Amino acid sequence: MTASEKKSGGVLGRRGQFLAAMRQMTFESGHFTTAELADAATVPRSTAQDWINRLIREGCIFTKEEKHGRHPARYASRSAMPSTTCNRIFTTADGDMVEIFHECLSSGCAGFCEFHHRRAGGAALSVRRDGMLFRELAKVGPAVEPDLSSAAVGLAGVRREDDMVVQTIRSVYGGPAYSLSSMMGQAKGVCGVSIASADGVVSGEVKTRALVPVTVGIDDTDRKGCGGATFALSQALMKYLSDGTEVIGIRHQVAVLCQDIEEKTAGNSCSFLELAVLPDAVAGLSAKICRFVEEESVSANWGVAVATGIGVQAELLSLGARARSERLTLDEVLGIAKECNVLTFGGNGIIGAVAAVSLRTQEQEVLLDLSNPVSLS
């Protein structure tokens, strides 16, 4: 592959055209020959054969009948499979830290990627899955080769190119190579994919926008005797924010806080949202959030906290741990929020909103069960 092909994404475009032609002929006739592909793609037979050989190596097509006598070899596309199981791929960036998200159309595919990326190691600092969303944390820097001796696919490195994140993925031939070469390029959020193959390994560079990681904490939107529920309002807020093109809603979570609060409603739970936001949209996001919460809340004490970044500062983590076991004052919460660059809006609900933001990195078993301690690492 030439440097100009990599830069322009021309190889990816040609791959897509050849695969489309192969799938169509397989669907109509059950197979295709080199000559038929050359006619369909309007290329010389030698070029068609080169693409056939390449896509066989990558597991995208297979030889249905070997050449015998004057009868040419017949090939078939694996087109019975969906064109892509990758719904969306996006990335958030905070300094030299990057979080990569693969939103799958299948929980089985998400589970497969989680298992093999974790086993492969490589450049991935952490790997986890939320339903059909596979996510991994990495640091911008030199490549760290994944171990593909017992894993099928892994992350080799992450780099920044202006406002883009480029992740390098290595895979063995077969299904993972098919996903890398034929599916990821069709996922929403992907700005380009370049593929290379050598020594039994397929390498792909996947380019996506560097989005801003934003966490929104919400609390005290309900009131005794007046209905309302913070978890429901928060879920509606995420849908409202992510209906356009500027915000991707990553997840909504509920966290339980201290139960020894006399004026608490129900279980004294707060909520937080994780979002990926276009850089130009961050400035106006807080005002948009507050307008929605103020209009939908049945309590005048509602509170909102907005934080950017991938990690959670130690002071903020400590506050979150304390909020699960003791009463905090609004003044001390405001002080810590200011030190940690967390924006706050509203009334007394700010206490729970900031606590929600502080608990963003905790496992669900911690968020919902006060007997499980907060991880301060």
Q: Once rounded to an integer, what is the mean pLDDT over residues 5-29?
A: 73
Mean pLDDT score of the chain, rounded to an integer?
90
Residues 36 and 145 in one domain: no
Assign 178 to helix, strand or coil: helix
Contact 64, 74 (CB under 8 A): yes
Please return the burial class of 104, using the count of CB atoms within 10 Å of its CB with bins 0-12, 13-18 and 19+: buried
| Per-residue pLDDT, 372 | 96
pLDDT tens track for 239-262: 999 998 999 999 999 999 998 877
Can you tell me whether residue 42 is helix, strand or coil?
Answer: coil
Whole-number pLDDT of residue 30: 79
Show which of 44, 77, 110 is a domain's final residue: 77
pTM (2 d.p.): 0.78
The whole domain housing 202 covers 86-210
What confidence score (pLDDT) does residue 224 get? Answer: 62
User: Tell me: the pLDDT tens digits for 323-351?
Assistant: 999 999 999 999 999 999 999 999 999 99
User: Does residue 374 sit within a domain?
Assistant: no
Domain assignment present for 38: yes
Q: Which pLDDT value is given to residue 225?
A: 55
Q: Are 224 and 362 part of one and the same domain?
A: yes
Residues 230 and 351 in one domain: yes
pLDDT at 82 over 80: no
Which token pair is 82? Answer: 């969906």
**Confidence at 7, pLDDT banded by 50, 70, 90:** very low
The whole-number pLDDT of residue 264 equals 64
Task: Tell me: do 64 and 105 sit in the same domain.
Answer: no
Domain contains 377: no
How large is the C-alpha radius of gyration of the chain? 25
pLDDT value of position 227: 58
Of all residues in the chain, the percent with pLDDT exceeding 70 is 93
> What's the total number of domains in the chain?
3
- Residue 8 banded pLDDT, cuts 50, 70, 90: very low
For the record, the structure tokens of 297 come out as 């809340």
